[in-house]
Amino acid sequence: MIYQNVHIKSFGCQMNKLDTAMIKAALKKASYQITNDIDSTDIVIFNTCSVREHAEERVFSNLGYIKHLKKSKPGIIVCVIGCMAQRLGEKLLNEPVVDIVCGPAQISQIVSLIQESIEKNKKVLAVTDNIRKENCEINKNLEEFESVFDSDDKQIPSQAFVRAMRGCNNFCSYCIVPYVRGPEISRPPQAIIEQVKRLADEGVKMVTFLGQTVNSYSYQAGEKTYCLADLLEMASEVNGIEWIRFVTNYPSDKYFDQIITAMTNLPKVCNYLHMCAQSGSDRILKAMNRHYTAAEYLGLVDRARDAIDDIAIAGDFIVGFPSETEEDFQQTVELVKKARYKNAFIFKYSPRPQTKSEMKLQDDVPDEIKKRRNIELLAVQNNMSEELSKVFLGKKLTVLVEGLSKKPHLNKSINDDNPQLIARTATDWIVVFNGPASLAGEFATVEITKTSPLTLFGQLCKA
């Protein structure tokens, strides 16, 4: 069998999407062809997430499909990579359909792992035995891999992710990330800026710095300690880069004022702050091992708004955490109302194996209560988003066009037969409008004619 076509499916966060982009670039350099057709592929790669149980269930569902596919194509190679691979290791390799298991720290080896599996006709395992121990060799390999394969697969024209740091040291009691991504490691600022320059030379207009807790970025070089604010300033000086974002932020006083000052003083830094709250109850926050109170969190929000009038803030929440009472939940509702989020990502608690909440706390909130609280909190946020979106009615906004809308519903016949495009503002509001497809990757001015909680609708302004 000749192995040529590779199908990659990515689950989870932006970190995984970035890893997938780099892996695609490495495979292309090794003369593999990337295909969207799983049925005609020779190699399947699932880049997995372990943050929530549902993400892992989706992977096993996909492996179930591969089991049937292998009946007609027994030679197909199946790779499971990423956080789930690191967590399950050999257990995952024992799945009959799985040929390669590769943790996130080993993605630089993906081409050689595939070749080894093909040439030796055997299963291959590549994970880190002690993920919390800093490994200089692994870090060196990942940095080299990142520096070479950073710019492929820009699914959204003119935009790219740039990793500022890897891993996490917070050990929130519900979170598996520190155990599958390892300790916090900030990349050298010069390497990051060189990467940004290369991307700008290739036509990228917006970069998003990534980190599990990107605001804790800290790199010691001689007597100077670089923080995220320094990265934002350095990136702002790169010709061609017009917008800069960063996600995700942990609520912390450290470097907060420097970051907000950078957002205030640097026009290229977008006025958008994604800062996870998780709960509005101090008791639950303590059980989650989150190192702030609800009042301290809202204090950070107020400081950001005092400095930047039009800042858009997004949050994350978990409902149904062990022992969460109705009073705890109502405190979360109140925090959401006070924070006035542009949008919030809300999830039902699901215990993750080997985390402290899974080992020490009973998952005692019934699923029907989790569902009800999830729906109620989403409704509260939906009302807030709707209220905030109406402010844009009749305004002209600068947007960066991403491409064709996946679910077009605007009338082409009254818009010069132009397709519906999707774009975003600097503050991450989604904007849809009719315009020529050639605008993908370009800035445009759109007048907003209609609003909904999550989407602004408009008309393209003529140049």
Q: State pLDDT tens for residues 347-371.
A: 999 999 989 999 999 999 999 999 9
Are 351 and 425 in a shared domain? no
| Residue 132: pLDDT over 70 | yes
| Residue 208: pLDDT over 60 | yes
Are 148 and 54 in a shared domain? no
The CATH number for 426's domain is 2.40.50.140
Q: What is the pLDDT of residue 409?
A: 61
Are 425 and 337 in a shared domain? no
| Of the residues 126, 149, 164, the one at which a domain ends | 126
| Of the residues 91, 126, 161, the one at which a domain ends | 126
Q: What is the pLDDT of residue 230?
A: 98
Does any domain span residue 98? yes
Mean per-residue pLDDT, 202-218: 96
- Rg of the chain taking only CA atoms, in angstroms: 23
Instruction: Give tens-digit pLDDT for 387-398.
Output: 999 999 999 999
The CATH number for 91's domain is 3.40.50.12160
Does any domain span residue 131? no
Are 186 and 266 in a shared domain? yes
Are 120 and 69 in a shared domain? yes
Are 85 and 17 in a shared domain? yes
Q: What is the pLDDT of residue 462?
A: 86
Terminal alpha carbon distance of the chain: 55
| Residue 51: pLDDT over 60 | yes
Counting residues of the chain whose pLDDT is more than 90, the rounded percentage is 87
Mean per-residue pLDDT, 10-19: 88
Please state, rounded to an integer, the average pLDDT across all residues of the chain.
Answer: 94
Q: Which of 78-92, 124-138, 210-224, 298-312 has the lowest mean pLDDT?
A: 124-138
Residue 243 pLDDT level (bands cut at 50, 70, 90): very high
- How far is residue 459's CA from residue 140's CA, in Å, rounded to a whole number? 49
Q: Which of 2-11, 70-79, 344-353, 411-420 has the lowest mean pLDDT?
A: 411-420
Residue 408 pLDDT level (bands cut at 50, 70, 90): low
The DSSP string of 305-364 is: HHH-TT-EEEEEEEES-TT--HHHHHHHHHHHHHHT-SEEEEEE----TTSHHHHHS---
Q: How many CA atoms lie within 13 A of 196 on its CB side?
A: 30
Could you give phi then psi for residue 88, rounded to 5 degrees? -95, -25
| Of the residues 93, 126, 159, the one at which a domain ends | 126
Residue 411 pLDDT level (bands cut at 50, 70, 90): low
Instruction: Give tens-digit pLDDT for 58-93.
Output: 999 999 999 989 888 899 999 999 999 999 999 999
Are 149 and 114 in a shared domain? no
Are 220 and 358 in a shared domain? yes
Are 384 and 431 in a shared domain? no
| Residue 413: pLDDT over 60 | no
Does any domain span residue 234? yes
How many structural domains is the chain composed of? 3
Encoding tokens for residue 195?
């990467």
Residue 406 pLDDT level (bands cut at 50, 70, 90): confident
Q: What is the pLDDT of residue 416?
A: 64
Q: What is the pLDDT of residue 151?
A: 61
Residue 414 pLDDT level (bands cut at 50, 70, 90): low
Encoding tokens for residue 405?
């809308």
Range of the domain at 318: 136-389
Residue 19 pLDDT level (bands cut at 50, 70, 90): very high
Q: What is the pLDDT of residue 154?
A: 61
Are 242 and 336 in a shared domain? yes
Encoding tokens for residue 92?
């995952």
Encoding tokens for residue 380?
């509260």
Measuring CA to CA, how many Å separate 234 from each of 116, 217, 227, 231? Answer: 41, 14, 11, 5
Are 105 and 163 in a shared domain? no
- How far is residue 312's CA from residue 29's CA, in Å, rounded to a whole number? 40
Tell me if 7 sits within 8 A of 38, measured CB to CB: yes
**pTM of the entire predicted model:** 0.93
The CATH number for 299's domain is 3.80.30.20
Q: What is the pLDDT of residue 110?
A: 96
Are 153 and 263 in a shared domain? yes
Q: What is the pLDDT of residue 415?
A: 60
- 413 Cβ neighbours under 8 A, 6+ residues apart: none
Return the sign of the alpha-carbon dihedral for residues 266, 271, 273, 274.
negative
Residue 417 pLDDT level (bands cut at 50, 70, 90): confident
Q: What is the pLDDT of residue 186?
A: 97
Instruction: Give tens-digit pLDDT for 369-388.
Output: 999 999 999 999 999 999 99
